[in-house]
Amino acid sequence: MKLKYINVRFIKVAFFVLFAIIVTSCKKYVDIPIAPNKIANADVYKTDASATSAVLSMYSYSYMNTSIGYFTYLGGLASDELQTTSSDAALQEFAQSAVTTTNSYVTNYLWAYPYLLIRWSNLAIDGITNSTTLTPAIKSQLLGEAKFFRAFIYFHVVNYIGNVPLELIPIPSSNKSQSSPADVWKQIISDLKDAESLLPSAYAGIAAQRGRVNKYAAAALLARAYLYTKDYANAETESSNVIGATDITYSLAPLANAFISTSPETILQFSTLYGYSTFGSAFRTSSSANNVAPPSYVLYPGFSSSFEAGDQRKIAWVDSTTYNAKKYYRINKYKLNTATAGNENSVILRLAEQYLIRAEARAQINTNLAGAQSDLNKVRNRAGLANTTATIQTTLLTAIANERKVELFGEFSHRWFDLVRTGQANTVIGALKPATWKSTAVLMPVPYDQILLNTNLIQNTGY
Amino acid sequence: MKKECTRCNDHRNSPELYRGSRTILLAMKITTILLFVTCLQVGAKGYSQKVSLNERKGSFEKVLQQIEKQSGYVFWYEDRLLLKANPVDITVKNVPLEEALETVFRDQPLGYVIIGKTIALKEKQPVKAIPELPPPPITITGRVLTKDGEKPLPGVTILIKGKVTGTLTNADGYYSLQVAITDKALLFSCIGMKKQEVLINGRTEINVTMEEEVSALNELQVVGYGVTSKRLNTGSVSSINSVDLAKQTITNPLTALQGHIAGMQITQDNGLPGGGVRVNIRGASSGFSQAGFVPLYVIDGVPFTLFNGGSPTSDNLNAWGTSGANGNLSPFSMINAEDIERIDILKDGDATAIYGSRGSNGVVLVTTKKGKRGKTAFNFNVYNGTGTVNHYIPMMNTQQYLAMRTAAFGNAGTTPTTANAKDLTVWDQNAYTNWQKWAIGGTSHITNATFAVSGGDVQNTFLFSSTYRKEGTVFPGSYNNTTFSSRLNAGHKTLNDKFSINLSINYAFMGNNLPSYDLSQLYNLPPNYPLNNADGTANWTLTNPASYFLKKYNSQTTNLISNLYLVYKLLPGLNLKANLGYSLTRLHQTSTNPASSQNPATASAATNRLTYTDNDNGNYIIEPQIEYLKTIGKGKLLALIGSTFQQNKSTGVYLNGVGYSNEALINSLLAASSITISYNNNSLYKYTALFGKATYNWDNKYILDGTFRRDGSSRFGESNRFGNFGALGVAWLFSQEAFMKNIKFLSYGKLRGSYGLTGNDQIMNYQYYASYSVAGSSSSYQGNSVAYPSNIANPNLQWETTKKLDFALELGFLKDRVLLKADYYRNRSSNQLTYISVPSQTGTSSYLGNLPAVIQNAGMEFELNTINFSSKDFKWTTSINLTINRNKLISYPGLATSSNSTSYFIGFPTDLIQLYHYTGVDPQTGLPTFKTVTGTPNYNTDRIKAPIGHPYYGGISNSLTYKNFTFDFTFQYVHRNGYLNNTLAMNYSPYGYAYTNQSTAILNRWTAIGDKAFYPAASTNSNSLYSTLASSDYNWGDASYFKFKTASLNYSIPKQWVNKLKLSEATIYLQGQNLFTSAKQKYTYDPETTQPGTGSGLGTGQYVALPQLRTIVIGLNVTF
């Protein structure tokens, strides 16, 4: 009998112990370590290596994904620069400057993808700033790069759409309303100033590739931002910083070599894995034989007449293809598309623009017109053109605007932004597309589905 | 399986019980009891052995040992008896054995009896004080066993004849009952057993064996963590056993269920060996949900749902790998059908809630064969046969095709040239190749051989089996699938029956050597397409058909499943159990794309390529359990508590080798000039649970069953990682009620109902936390690896839940010769795991979360089993099942603003298809016309909801036995709406637009102004109206089909002949599979095929793939 009693007690204890084990072990049991191919957000910015991997993802994503390419194509289509051979109705809306609020390119490439990169840069800025374990030099390099990226994206978003929400924290709020363009510009300039002071002159990574943001890349974009916000003195200062750089030599390259990966003109390019420019390839046909179908984006029919007689850029940077008895002009700045071991990357910033920024800033300030002429002539001379004949502010500004058109075509919608910021769009594009143009078309719409999801968003006028 | 002990009691719920492995204690008890019964009358003779003993407070056991040593006699007893023994005081010297025993047992509560050289111990009956009046009651004790004496029968009702008093047998079959001296007889009754009346005749010990009452209701059913019978089940369970499995020539056991199980819809992706199989139990709960609908498969307690976090969710072995012509690889193609004892499909909440978060999609329990006690049996089964395609798509012949092309150019106003119309200008106008016959017109050969040895004694059982199978294809060339699998099952029990152990190990290899492209898809090549040009070079106008033979796919799968099952009987009625399982599936695949298989005109791009993948999936499970059985009043209680610890780890690598200078070395990565890693998968899934179950069965009349489970899954956020699930089931066997006894024709009647909550966690791993993902080398930046921010955190991520309601009526007529089961069910899934839209200014457009939308699957299931005729020589049985399922979206908060607003509608099925409404051909232009608002078809406003009709499916099986012949056949029927012509499903261009042949349906097309044809004109001008046409209801309607699924003729060779050959059994059989299909839609090979890689849309048949073959085999099955 005693034995039995012990057994029962033993069983009771065993039960209790078993349940204690089960209940306590359960919670811990399903706590699993993070997957080997993942890094928890909290750990990313703890080491130099993983923080670098995280920041480099923005470069990788930018050149791999066509989102950056659309910054070029969409503005090109909206202005008098590009035309598309695609029958895609949404692209045709851009070509006719009659973009609708449900246009998928606005939804994706002017809103969703840019904000994706903004989230990534916000995550990086927050993570790096709060990290106490990064090597100081790496920390300021990466922080500078992240701030550059945020400014770079906001620059395009604010130019395309105007009133946009200013998301600046890693866990963004989904009902944030729009900020005024002035506030966005303020943020862009502040980020770029930070980047310029954080970054060294020397290029990180493979220095010869100029594939990582350095001090001068930040200064170059800052110069552009000041120009757009009409802060001409600062625009002149920043572009002078780049043009006058001594620790890195920037110089204008011969036209044929201006876009190759070793071009001394390049201030920043995204090093692609393939050896060709990912967004430049849309200006080339996919087939190696160029005499077949035209590429997706070709120059606007009248564009080639913008070149002055003797302009070598018309020869070096433009070529043509005839297809179905129709002649198409193609942008020929990049020569490669599907090369496996080519020598081209995706150029983001180059010196010629800095000369034109400084020329415009000087012309606007109107105290150093000779300096403005000299900067303009640098670009003209490289293209085989004689010195400008413009001598007074108004003619000089017109000359610079024309020069920007023929120098910067097919690169990040310079033409469209120039037309908008100088108030020319209504006249120029209105004359070009009279049936469809509306003065409110200078800003693209806020995507319709986003207004449904975030009722605090307000649609741009005219949509 | 049928002749088992437990039909009286649903509380003998351990699989161990029907494994035939109750051994030594049982045998001992039987021996003891039988000896008592038969030998008590023998009387004692004198025993001459002398014994000397001297003990003070000595242990009883020690004393017995000394007697054994001195006398040479052996004591037989149960350990429990010794617990009752008192210490012994004895001093004897050289006394006869008998005298010594008298002394030893004088003060003990035990008695003994000597039989031969054995002394068996028994409990003494308590001696009652004798009252004066009334006459003393007599205590009758005894035990109730099955007829063969092997198993005790618990829960047997024992009544005194003419009185209402009685008792029940306990867990080991023992009973004790007080009767008056005037009582004459006892009545023994138990459900599933024939009633017995036993005369007392003054005995105090009455042991009874009871005979089974033959009824399908007594067949055991395996349920979650236990067994029960069809009769006593409170849940909805459908089953198939090895007998029915053996009647089919199948390589994937899941396909054997087609047409047999109500509520279970099964389709095969294609008819190639290893091809994927999809299973829906009571409709897919998924629609927009990202969670999978793969049922939980459990093989002998080890989960076999190999979902490894791929997307879309499936349990295909190659979810992370590459694929060949067979598409997805079904893990069940690794399971040998001949190893399976039975498959039970659990459907309602009562049956599935014990599996908690894994039970939403239903549970499929596979029980493998175990060794059985008895003479060693050798079984050899071999079959050999052929398979062919039994239906070809009617396509146009050369003249019809060329006429269509000529008309296409004529209607477009263009001239055929050697550049755009080689078929009309260059190729032989009279040549004709039937590409279907060319590609899939061959005969596949199948050989299958299984050798099994099984047997055992009272303590040990074993089963060994090995199967070899080689299955060819109908493609030209030597492609095949070879399987070799071996299985070992061993069981052991200790002599005292306290501890038992059972181990199964199954190891299987499958080698799959196939083209990487399903050649059945070549059906629409132009019939005059020449393989070679006039100059002898390969014709690459289209992909040269012969080039497909150069692209080779090879996969080697190995699969280990091991399972250890332990039982320890701590106390009577209290058992400790543990189930330990480990499975490991490894898949190695290569797929080549050599330059020689590519168009030389694009030689710059033609490089040798190799895809090389390795995937491992390891899974372990540990499930300790405590089981408690008790008889309370007229009821029996079973309680079970257990916990689960499960881990699934999958790793995989997917490599691409490019740029081989030597094509002959294409299979070696070493010879590649560059290797890229597409992914290196590595995921871990852990799962834990605490579960309990209690069943109370009152007099086999009222049964209450409750289950509870608390689950934790590593797939969910910390705040919601654990979830509670459970169910309540009740059954009322109203035919047991006294008032029903007079209704003679009704032999069985049960009403049951259940309500339960189950869950689903079939989503990708690691979704709840925010992380950066390391990208592959193809995304590196300046040679530096990069890490992308991936999903945004959702710590609230939790289970998708399904509330299951089930009501059923089960009836048996004419002594259970007619059995009818009707279920109504309603499953409502909510908390859908889906991508929830957020403003993309947050940097993401959606995140994985739980949406409180509700999707309902409701329906009716019917199962009817009849014995139509039964005599000594002839027996005919029929089984019919029918399922009607209706899927409906009940609610969806925020549907209007979600990205699903144009795809899903409240009150409509979630697999709804929207189509333009076709209004016929414009007789003037030959162009298709549609019902539109503005005149131009508009995607958002002009599409209508395609009529879903009234889908249902079912099957009929018949079995006829005449003397030594058995003939079985099964039909399957699926009624549904769907696409009527699969060759048109992806056709966005006018007929004759390109080098594409069309089905003969297109002969009824517009050819001249004024024609009133159904199909529009041929043309070489593309016109968006034709892509509208492809999305219109012109190709939609009744796509039902009927399949003569299987037929099997068995002849068992008469015993007298068999015995002469020293065999115990021999059967010759002829079996046919997929013999005939009658489908409303003629323009596909098999209306059942489903596009691989897609999630839901099971069996819409919108896809052209190699059909399931018509297979005919002849076989021999010998046991000796």
Q: Which domains, ranges and CATH numbers included, belong to chain A?
A: 63-101+136-274+346-436 (1.25.40.390)
pLDDT of res. B791: 78
Question: Shortest Cα distance from A173 to chain B (angstroms)?
Answer: 7
- The answer to whether B951 and B888 have CB atoms below 8 angstroms apart is no
Can you tell me the distance from the alpha carbon of B166 to that of B171, in angstroms, rounded to the nearest whole number?
17
**Six-digit token pair at B315?**
């349990």
pLDDT of res. B553: 93
Within 8 A of B686 by CB-CB distance, chain A residues are: 29-30, 32
Q: Give the mean pLDDT of B784-797.
A: 87
Q: Which of B726, B717, B578, B736 shows the shortest CA–CA distance to B644? A: B578
Q: What is the DSSP letter of B136?
A: P
- Interface probe for B, chosen from A17, A50, A57, A88 (most Cβ of B below 10 Å), is A57
pLDDT of res. B301: 86
pLDDT of res. A3: 46
Instruction: Tell me: pLDDT of B758 over 50.
Output: yes
The per-residue pLDDT for range B471-505, each reduced to its tens digit, is 999 999 889 999 999 999 999 999 888 899 999 99
3-state SS, residue B884:
strand
Phi, psi (deg, nearest 5) at residue B1000: -65, -15
Query: Of chain A residues 47-66, which have a CB less than 8 A from chain B?
Result: 50, 52-54, 56-57, 59-61, 64
Residue A207, chain B, CB below 8 Å: the answer is no
Query: Of chain B residues 638-667, which have a CB less than 8 A from chain A?
Result: 643, 645
Instruction: Tell me: pLDDT of B1095 over 60.
Output: no
Q: Which of B317, B502, B423, B330 shows the shortest CA–CA distance to B993? A: B423
pLDDT band at B515 (very low <50, low <70, confident <90, very high): very high
CB–CB of B643 and A176 under 8 A?
no
Chain centre to alpha carbon of residue B968: 22
Compare CB distances from B773 to A38, A56, A450 and report the shortest one's residue. Answer: A38
CB–CB of B780 and A59 under 8 A?
no
Compare CB distances from B841 to A30, A61, A172 and report the shortest one's residue. Answer: A172
- Cα dihedral angle (B1026, B1028, B1032, B1034), rounded to 10 degrees? -20
Classify strands B800-813 and B174-179 as parallel, antiparallel or unpaired. unpaired
pLDDT band at B133 (very low <50, low <70, confident <90, very high): low
What's the Cα-to-Cα distance from B546 to each of B475, B515, B542, rounded to whole Å? Answer: 12, 11, 11
pLDDT of res. B15: 39
Query: Of chain A residues 119-178, which have a CB less than 8 A from chain B?
Result: 119-120, 122-123, 164-165, 167, 171-176
**Six-digit token pair at B1066?**
């021999």
Compare CB distances from B683 to A25, A35, A111 and report the shortest one's residue. Answer: A35
Question: Shortest Cα distance from B1114 to chain A (angstroms)?
Answer: 51
Instruction: Tell me: pLDDT of B448 over 90.
Output: yes
Instruction: Tell me: pLDDT of B1010 over 60.
Output: yes
Query: Of chain B residues 63-92, which have a CB less than 8 A from chain A?
Result: 83
3-state SS, residue B1094:
coil
Question: Shortest Cα distance from A381 to chain B (angstroms)?
Answer: 34
Can you tell me the distance from the alpha carbon of A423 to that of A442, in angstroms, rounded to the nearest whole number?
9
Minimum CA–CA partner of B837 in chain A? A453
**Helix (H) and strand (E) counts in chain B:** 11, 53
Instruction: Tell me: pLDDT of B1075 over 80.
Output: yes
CB–CB of B83 and A3 under 8 A?
yes
CB–CB of B781 and A59 under 8 A?
yes
- The answer to whether B760 and B802 have CB atoms below 8 angstroms apart is yes
Minimum CA–CA partner of B840 in chain A? A112
What's the Cα-to-Cα distance from B564 to each of A42, B300, B466, rounded to whole Å? Answer: 42, 9, 20
Residue B939, chain A, CB below 8 Å: the answer is no
Amino acid at B766: Y
Residue A275, chain B, CB below 8 Å: the answer is no
Can you tell me the distance from the alpha carbon of B710 to that of A83, in angstroms, rounded to the nearest whole number?
62
Within 8 A of A205 by CB-CB distance, chain B residues are: 781-782, 784
What's the Cα-to-Cα distance from B875 to each of A333, B450, B867, B970, B1051, rounded to whole Å? Answer: 87, 29, 8, 17, 15
Residue B673, chain A, CB below 8 Å: the answer is no
Minimum CA–CA partner of B80 in chain A? A4
CB–CB of A40 and B645 under 8 A?
no
List the pLDDT tens digit at each of the 463 positions of chain A.
Answer: 444 455 666 666 666 666 656 555 567 788 888 888 888 888 999 999 999 999 999 999 888 766 788 999 999 999 999 999 887 888 999 999 999 998 999 999 999 999 999 999 999 999 999 999 999 999 999 999 999 999 999 999 999 999 999 999 988 778 899 999 999 999 999 999 999 999 999 999 998 899 999 999 999 999 999 999 999 999 999 999 999 999 998 999 999 999 999 999 999 999 888 788 888 888 886 554 444 678 889 999 889 899 999 999 999 999 888 877 788 898 999 887 665 557 889 999 999 999 999 999 999 999 999 999 999 999 999 999 999 999 999 999 999 999 999 999 999 999 999 999 999 999 999 999 999 999 999 999 999 989 988 999 999 999 8
CB–CB of A34 and B837 under 8 A?
no
3-state SS, residue A369:
helix
Q: Give the mean pLDDT of B440-467.
A: 93
Q: Which of B214, B263, B215, B269 shows the shortest CA–CA distance to B239? A: B263
Q: Give the mean pLDDT of B890-915.
A: 86
Helix (H) or strand (E) holding A90, with range, is helix A89-95
Return the top range by mean pLDDT from A12-26, B133-147, B184-198, B664-678.
Answer: B664-678
A:B CB pairs within 8 Å: 179
Instruction: Tell me: pLDDT of B8 over 50.
Output: no
**Gyration radius of chain A's alpha carbons:** 27
- Interface probe for A, chosen from B658, B778, B842 (most Cβ of A below 10 Å), is B842
CB–CB of B772 and A32 under 8 A?
no
Length of chain A: 463
Task: Return the percentage of chain B with pLDDT > 70, whole number.
Answer: 91
pLDDT band at B36 (very low <50, low <70, confident <90, very high): very low
Question: Shortest Cα distance from A12 to chain B (angstroms)?
Answer: 12
Compare CB distances from B789 to A4, A30, A120 and report the shortest one's residue. Answer: A120
**Which phi-psi region, left, alpha or beta, contains residue B946 (left: φ > 0; alpha: ψ -120 to 50)?**
beta
Instruction: Tell me: pLDDT of B835 over 60.
Output: yes
Identify which has the larger pLDDT, B416 or A339.
B416
pLDDT of res. B32: 39
What ipTM is given for this predicted complex? 0.89
Within 8 A of A146 by CB-CB distance, chain B residues are: none
Question: Shortest Cα distance from B199 to chain A (angstroms)?
Answer: 37
Question: Shortest Cα distance from B1043 to chain A (angstroms)?
Answer: 46
Lowest mean pLDDT among B451-455, B804-808, B1008-1012: B1008-1012
CB–CB of A32 and B843 under 8 A?
no
Helix (H) or strand (E) holding B1076, with range, is strand B1065-1079
Minimum CA–CA partner of A117 in chain B? B843
**Six-digit token pair at B233?**
């089940």
Q: Which of B715, B795, B683, B771 shows the shortest CA–CA distance to A40? A: B771
Q: What is the DSSP letter of B555?
A: E
Q: Which of B627, B630, B618, B506 shows the shortest CA–CA distance to B566? A: B627
Q: Whole-angstrom distance between the N-terminal and C-terminal Cα of chain A?
A: 91
Can you tell me the distance from the alpha carbon of B501 to that of B566, in angstroms, rounded to the nearest whole number?
5
**Six-digit token pair at A198?**
């954080």
**Six-digit token pair at B189?**
């009754």
**Six-digit token pair at B483?**
């399987």
**Gyration radius of chain B's alpha carbons:** 35
Minimum CA–CA partner of A345 in chain B? B782
Query: Of chain A residues 72-101, which have a CB less than 8 A from chain B?
Result: none
Residue A286, chain B, CB below 8 Å: the answer is no
3-state SS, residue B529:
coil
Within 8 A of B844 by CB-CB distance, chain A residues are: 116, 119
The per-residue pLDDT for range B340-371, each reduced to its tens digit, is 999 999 999 888 988 888 888 899 999 999 98
* Mean of pLDDT over chain B: 85
pLDDT of res. B227: 86
Query: Of chain A residues 427-456, which have a CB less than 8 A from chain B?
Result: 447, 449-450, 452-454
Task: Return the percentage of chain B with pLDDT > 90, whole number.
Answer: 40
pTM score, two decimals?
A: 0.80
Chain centre to alpha carbon of residue B646: 20
Can you tell me the distance from the alpha carbon of A86 to that of A104, in angstroms, rounded to the nearest whole number?
15
Compare CB distances from B774 to A15, A37, A205 and report the shortest one's residue. Answer: A37
- Residue B726 CB burial class (10 angstroms; 0-12, 13-18, ≥19): buried
Can you tell me the distance from the alpha carbon of B221 to that of B708, in angstroms, rounded to the nearest whole number?
20
Q: Which of A103, A97, A202, A99 shows the shortest CA–CA distance to A144? A: A202
CB–CB of B771 and A26 under 8 A?
no
- Residue B914 CB burial class (10 angstroms; 0-12, 13-18, ≥19): middle
Q: Give the mean pLDDT of B927-943.
A: 88
**Six-digit token pair at A126?**
């927050």
**Six-digit token pair at B960?**
């006829």
